[in-house]
């Protein structure tokens, strides 16, 4: 399955995509963490492409692969559609836009990225 980073604009506008589907089952802690970190890597990679976020390792390739694998795994394990995952990623991206939220999330997310072996 080939997925790409969802453009940041899609992450921020995705809630309208999944209004037709019913509410999905809650995510496990592991799934929720992977989803949050996927959003953090997407936002961080976008920042790095603009010359910001130099305090983090390059997120483009490893972060993208984490994002793809985590999204696919969540879809496989929960039966969520791509649109439903996009809605949840959008919500995470919005939360990470709060002052200090991305910086606070990045450290544990980088540990999760390292633990993933990517």
40, 102 Cβ separation under 8 angstroms:
yes
Tokens coding 105: 């999330």
Cα separation, 12 vs 6, in Å, equals 10
Q: What is the pLDDT, as a whole number, of residue 8? A: 52
pTM exceeds 0.75 for this model: yes
Q: How many CB atoms lie within 10 A of CB 63?
A: 26
| CA distances in angstroms from 104 to 4, 6, 10, 36, 116, listed in the order given | 25, 22, 23, 12, 20
Cα separation, 37 vs 116, in Å, equals 12
Whether 68 has a pLDDT exceeding 90, the answer reads yes
Q: What is the pLDDT, as a whole number, of residue 51? A: 93
């Amino acid at each position: 399955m080939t997925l790409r980073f969802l453009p940041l604009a899609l992450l921020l506008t995705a809630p309208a995509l999944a209004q037709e589907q019913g509410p999905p089952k809650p995510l496990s802690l592991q799934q929720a963490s992977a989803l949050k970190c996927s959003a953090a890597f997407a936002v961080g990679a976008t920042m790095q492409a603009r010359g910001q976020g130099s305090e983090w390792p390059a997120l483009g390739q490893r972060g993208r692969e984490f994002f793809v694998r985590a999204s696919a795994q969540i879809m496989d394990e929960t039966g969520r559609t791509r649109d439903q995952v996009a809605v949840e990623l959008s919500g995470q991206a919005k939360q990470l836009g709060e002052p200090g939220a991305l910086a606070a999330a990045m450290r544990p997310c980088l540990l999760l990225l390292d633990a993933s072996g990517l």
